[in-house]
Each structure stands twice: as structure tokens, then as C-alpha cells.
A and B are shown apart, each in its own frame.
Chain A
Amino acid sequence: MKRKVLSVMLAAAMTVTVFAGCGDTAEEPQGTPDGAAGTEADGDTAAAPAGEGSVYMLNFKPESDQQWKDLAEIYTEQTGVEVNILTAAEGTYSTTLQSEMAKDEAPTIFNIGNVTAAQTWNDYTLDLSGSALYDHLSDKSLVINYDGKVAGVANCYECYGIIYNKTILNDYCSLDGAVISSVDEINNLDTLEAVAKDINSRVDEINEALGTHLTGAFASSGLDDGSSWRFSGHLAGVALYYEFLEDGCDLIAGEPAIDGTYLDNFKRVWDMYVTNSSADPMTLEGGTYNAEMEFGMGEAVFFQNGNWEYSALVNPDNGYEVTDADLGMMPIYFGVDDENQGLCVGTENYWAVNAKASQEDIDATLAFLEWVITSDEGRNAITNEMGLSAPFDTFTGDYESDNAFVKDNNAYIADGKTSVAWSFNATPNVDDWRADVVAALTAYTNGSGEWDAVEDAFVNGWAAQWKLAEEAK
């Protein structure tokens, strides 16, 4: 009998321990999204005043995690409103968003990158058309319109094109036998092609004359997952842009079927990148090349990428040779409307506000966002600390960007050039479509496949994925 009592007691003790364990977790302070992976803002000691909502932002850019947290702290000190920042690790935004949204304390601000994301999260996006955020937007095209509402407002804009080394290119112009006498002469694809070909074929001669250590005209065009988006996304975007323009559809939202009208131009530019580079076209998919490093170390003159590369290229920690004075960006001349074409301007970073949050939280969130783009602290953080170019009319004077590429972009706009919209944002099932295009492009480039397969993946793949995306709505 004694033994029985003892065993029952022991069992009971075990059970209690288990439940005690559960109890502990439940008693954790609420307010911060519990158990979330990643890093959260320090739990604020000042509790939010009763009746006021709180803000929970799921930040998209890992590199600006700390800046957002600092900003949140300042805001809480000033207003007492609790602001939590959670940053998803690189490449895991959609998974993090999915799991965070399923929680009771769901994010009130999240990032949507394109129309597809706006479709996925349609039930969750609040119409921002009447918000202060939208009112301050200087370029009203920098929004995502979906389902009759403004689903997302750009929080920064970016531009991409062909980054070039100003110093080397200028010096090249002064050489004997150079095909151009001034960099300004490169204002169309024919000239760009001629210059790239000339530099690439005379690399040793140029190195000797200028004291450079070039290995080729273009930096490598890697087709691995870490680099292929520059071509299946950004370069393809130019082809899509001209086609959408011709068809008269929305430049960002796109159309259900495409003809690949400008694929020949795409091929011409791609061939230019690949043939005028020192990288082995057979191994571009291997992920062994680092185009940023090649350009940064002065091994290449041209490098297709965007203004986000600026901070990496001039960051002294990276040890690159190029400096601010070397950096310039020109449009990706496409052989269509070269004389009027500017850089490709757009963004994949739109703020969306969670419509399923409580009204207090929504109000607090909108107030916080307004504060970010109008207060000195907010503007300073965005421009100077995060290095972003904000598309709001409040960013003037000290808060204008010092990014060399953004300055180039402003110059092109002042010159009357037409910016190319980010038409690749219309891509249906973007990961799947790009994967197929990249596979075909890889096969074409390493000689195991034909260009027809690229066309097929581009055109037929688009229609098929569009249909799937429609069905999934």
C-alpha cells in the first residue's frame, strides 16, 4: 500500500512539473511577440497607456535592423506607444511573415514586394489611399494598387542599370584607338557593345597603358541563385517594360500573356555581358564568381546592378579599390528607345498595414509611420543611417541621399529621360517563373541548350504561371 501511495505521488509530481512548465511560458510578458525567432526590440519598461494601440513591424531588410530598433526606442520614449521590431533573416521573409501572421499578436506593418504578394495578403492589407503616408508620396506611381485599393506604399525607391567605373572608362577614352572619345558618347546599345568589345579584346594593352588590372569589360554574370535574379529579374524587366508599354497595360501589374517581343534585345544584351567578360560561360551557374568583388577590385569596368550596391562598394571594411568618385551608373541600353531611356526606377519594398489588427493598433501604426517620414529622427535614420532614398516630399535638404547612383538617376531625370518602371514586379509566381528562365538561360549559355528554350520558358512559362496565380486567388 505504501508503495502504491508513493508511486501515485511520484506520478502526480511529474505531471505537475509538466504543467508548471506550461504555466511558466504563459506568464511571459505579453506585448512582445513571444517565441519569435530573431531579435526583438528591448522590452520597453514604460507600458503603453491604456486604450492606445501598439505597433509591431516585421522589417524586411536585415541590414537596417538596428536602426529600426533605435528608432522604435526613440518613438516610445517620446510618445509612450510601444513599438516592436522583428527582422526576418535574409531570404526567410515570407516564411517568417506567414508564421507571425498566424499569431494573436500579428505584425501591424509588413512588407509586400509586388502584386503577387499583394494578392497573397489581400485580406490583410489596409487601403492606404487616405493616409498621411500616401499624401506625402512624391511619386504616386510608387504604390501597389490591388483589388481597388492602395495595398502598399513604397518606403524607399531604388534604381538599377549598368554600374561603370568612371575613372577607368575616362582614362580609356584618352587611349589611342579607343572607340569613343568621351563617356557621354555611350548613349546607345551599339556604342556600349563596341566599347565593351574593344576593352575586352585589349585588356592587357589597357592594363599596361593605364596601370589597371582588368580581367574583362563586364563583371561575371553569375547564374547561381545568389546572382541570377539580376538577369531573370532585372534585365528581363527591361524587355517586359517595353512590351507592356507597347501593349498599353499597367507597367507594374502586367498582363496575362506576353509575346516576348523584345527577347531578341534581351539576348543581344545577355550575349554582350557573357562574351565580354573573363568568366567561363560554362561555369556561370556554379556560384563561384563574385561580380561585386570583381568590380570593386577594379577587375571589370561594367557591372549590372542597382544603387543598393553603393554602400557595399564604398564601405572601407570590404577593402575595395573603388571610391565614390569612380562610381557611375548608365541605363541598360536595350536597342529600343536608347536616346530617351533612363535608369530602371522602382522598389520591392512597400509598407502594408495589417487590416486585421485592432483599430487602436492601426491608428498607432499609421501615426508611427507618419512620424517616421516627417520627424527629424525618422528622416535622419532613413536617409543617413539606413542609406535609403525615400520617395516622400518631406525628404529635402539634409535628408536627400548622397548615394552616387541616386544622384546619377536624378541627373537622368533632370535631363528628361524616361525612367524604366520595374515591370518584373508583375511576374506571376516569380520564383517558379524565374527558375525556369534561369535553367533555360544556363543551358543556352553553357551550350547544352538552345535559345528557343529560353523563349519558351519566358513566354509560355509566363502564361502558365499567370493562370496558376489566377486560380490561386
Chain B
Amino acid sequence: MEKAIKKYFPIFVLPTMIAFTIGFIVPFLYGIFLSFCKFTTVVDWEWVGLSNYLKIFFVNGELDTTFIHSLWYTALFTIVSVVIINVVSFIIAMALTKGIRGTNIFRTVFFMPNLIGGIVLSYIWLMLFNSVLSHFSKTIVSSEWYAFWGLIIVVCWQQIGYMMIIYVAGIQNIPGELIEAAKIDGANAFQILKNVTLPMLMPTITVCTFLTLTNGFKLFDQNMALTGGNPGKMSQLLALNIYDTMYGTTGWQGVGQAKAVIFFILVAIISLAQNKLTTSKEVQD
């Protein structure tokens, strides 16, 4: 049987492979190619070598910090959102697996924000923020830090419920006898958490940190609708910065493409590293 699978796997893989090639590999390779070109439409290009990559950092012969700013701003945003989302959703998940009354209602309520699209959600939050901040003569785009925390709040509000569900599933999968054994051995609640629950939960943590990490780096809708990159371009996360370069600056489609390639490499490296790190801590059965 195994032999047969080995023999015929190309045939079974073929349909998916074709779709994957058309939908991902070809556009991806073509995108890398275009980052070395000056182009107006994707079929109308002219080879310019590395100049697109140079223009990301040097504009008119001077260092331009717009991209670098959005790079560290995005990194900071991602770190803060990953930490908050995972810690809070883990705590809620722990609370909601203790069998308190109304557990199901709470789970539903916490999960619901995730059902609303990012744009709609951000416009609603925009109104909320601005009406509260107007009492202090401020707006969500008064400075890049108002925008920063605004984005953090929206993203946390949206993603905590989702991650919570994953954590709940993970916690419920921990065999009861392990905890029981620890209790008999005299472990206190903190020791159980540290030595039993967390190690057993590592696969879940891998998944959740991976999701929040990539979500943080890729964030676009909320950024666009909530702050639009204002003030100036100071609250532009990477994805919005790329979009803005692509469509906002005449003749810079290639530069936008080059930024996108750098963006891809960065996200790929970081998420691979994260995956390796957390996977190595997983308990093997």
C-alpha cells in the first residue's frame, strides 16, 4: 500500500499543485522579477536592476527614513500585540476551563469580535476613540503613539477571542491524570501551571504565536481604516507603506514591489525562527 502511495503521489498531488502554482508560485516569482523592473502595468516592464531597492532607502541622494520608520514601528507593534494577545487570551482560556457558570456564553461573546471584518470594525472603533479623545482635545491621529495604542486595542479586541478558542481546546486536551498526579505529589497551582500545563500546551502556543506574529506583520485593513497612516506617514505599518508606495508615488510601482519582496523575506525569516524556537520546546509523547 505504502509503495502504491509513493508511486502515485504525483498524480494525486497534481490538481493541488497546479492550483498552487497558478495561484502562488507564478505570481510570487513574477513579483520578485518585477521588483527589478520599472513598470506601469504588470505586462509593461523595463529592467532597472537594483535601483528600486536603493530608492527604498535613498531618495534624491539623501537617506529616507520612511520605510525604516515603518519597519521598526511594525516590529514594535507586532511584539506588543503578540505579547498582549497571547497572555490575555491564555488567562481567559484558563478561566473559562474552570467550569464556571456561563462558560459557553462567555466563549461566544469573546469570540464574536472576530466575526466582524477589519474595515468595519476599525471605523466603529475610530468613532469610539475620537468621541472619547475629543474631551481631551485629541484624536486618534494626534500623534503616532495615539495611533499605535489605538491599533493595539483594536487588534487585541479582535484577536483575543480567536486565540482563546485555540487555547481552550489545548487546555482541554491535557490529560486529567497528569494534573491529578501532580496534585498528589503536592504541587501547588503555580507549579502545576509551570510544570504541567505550559509544557503540555506548547503545540498550542506555537500555533497561537505564529498566527499573532504573522497577523501583526501583515496588518493592513485596520491600519488603513483607523489611522490611514496619519499623522504624516508616521503610523504606517509595512503593508500600508508598501500599498502607499505602489499607488501613491508616480512611477514607483517597482519600488513598492521591492519593498514587498523585503517584507516577504523578513516575515518568512521571523516566522520560521519563531516556529523552530517554540516547536523545540514541545513535549514529545
Query: Which of the listed residues A436, A448, A468 has the most CB atoms from chain B within 10 Å of its own CB?
Result: A468
Contact check, B251 vs A286: say whether CB atoms are below 8 A apart. no
Contact with B along A430-473 (1 / 0, CB 8 A): 01100110010011001010000000000000001001110111
Contact check, B60 vs A468: say whether CB atoms are below 8 A apart. yes
Contact check, A443 vs B231: say whether CB atoms are below 8 A apart. yes
Task: Tell me the residues in window 198-254 of chain B with beta carbons closer than 8 Å to chain A beta carbons.
Answer: 228-234, 244, 247-253
Closest to A95 in B: B247
Residues of A within 8 A of B234 (CB): 439
Partner of A280, one of B19, B134, B247: B134
Residues of A within 8 A of B11 (CB): 7-8, 11-12, 15
Contact with B along A89-112 (1 / 0, CB 8 A): 000001100110110000000000
Contact check, B130 vs A464: say whether CB atoms are below 8 A apart. no
Contact check, B232 vs A436: say whether CB atoms are below 8 A apart. yes
Residues of B within 8 A of A227 (CB): none
Residues of A within 8 A of B233 (CB): 435, 439
A196 CA / B207 CA spacing, docked (Å): 61
CB distance from A58 to the nearest CB of B (A): 13
Whether, in the assembled complex, B133 has its beta carbon less than 8 Å from a beta carbon of chain A, the answer is yes
Whether, in the assembled complex, B29 has its beta carbon less than 8 Å from a beta carbon of chain A, the answer is no
Residues of B within 8 A of A14 (CB): 12, 14-15
Whether, in the assembled complex, A429 has its beta carbon less than 8 Å from a beta carbon of chain B, the answer is yes
Residues of A within 8 A of B248 (CB): 429, 431-432, 435
A120 CA / B131 CA spacing, docked (Å): 41
Closest to A431 in B: B248
Whether, in the assembled complex, A349 has its beta carbon less than 8 Å from a beta carbon of chain B, the answer is no
Contact check, B19 vs A18: say whether CB atoms are below 8 A apart. yes
Whether, in the assembled complex, B142 has its beta carbon less than 8 Å from a beta carbon of chain A, the answer is yes
Partner of B141, one of A285, A429, A432, A464: A285
| Total interface residues in chain A, CB < 8 Å | 48
Query: Which of the listed residues A4, A94, A224, A286 has the most CB atoms from chain B within 10 Å of its own CB?
Result: A286
Stretch of B37-45, B158-166, B187-195 with 4 or more beta carbons under 8 angstroms from chain A: B37-45
Partner of B252, one of A17, A119, A472: A472
Answer whether A11 and B40 are a contact pair too, CB < 8 Å, given A94-B247, A429-B249, A468-B249: no
Whether, in the assembled complex, B258 has its beta carbon less than 8 Å from a beta carbon of chain A, the answer is no
A263 CA / B134 CA spacing, docked (Å): 30
Contacts A/B (CB < 8 Å), 27 sampled: A8-B8, A15-B15, A17-B15, A116-B250, A119-B251, A120-B40, A120-B250, A224-B230, A282-B142, A283-B134, A283-B137, A283-B138, A285-B139, A285-B142, A287-B126, A287-B130, A429-B250, A431-B249, A432-B248, A443-B231, A448-B142, A464-B59, A464-B60, A468-B59, A472-B250, A472-B251, A472-B252
**A interface residues with partner B (beta carbon < 8 Å):** 3-4, 7-8, 11-12, 14-15, 17-18, 94-95, 98-99, 101-102, 116, 119-121, 123, 224-225, 280, 282-283, 285-288, 428-429, 431-432, 435-436, 439, 442-443, 446, 448, 464, 467-469, 471-473
Given A99-B41, A473-B251, 11 other A-B contacts at CB below 8 A?
A: A14-B15, A95-B247, A102-B41, A120-B251, A282-B137, A283-B137, A285-B139, A287-B126, A287-B139, A435-B248, A439-B232
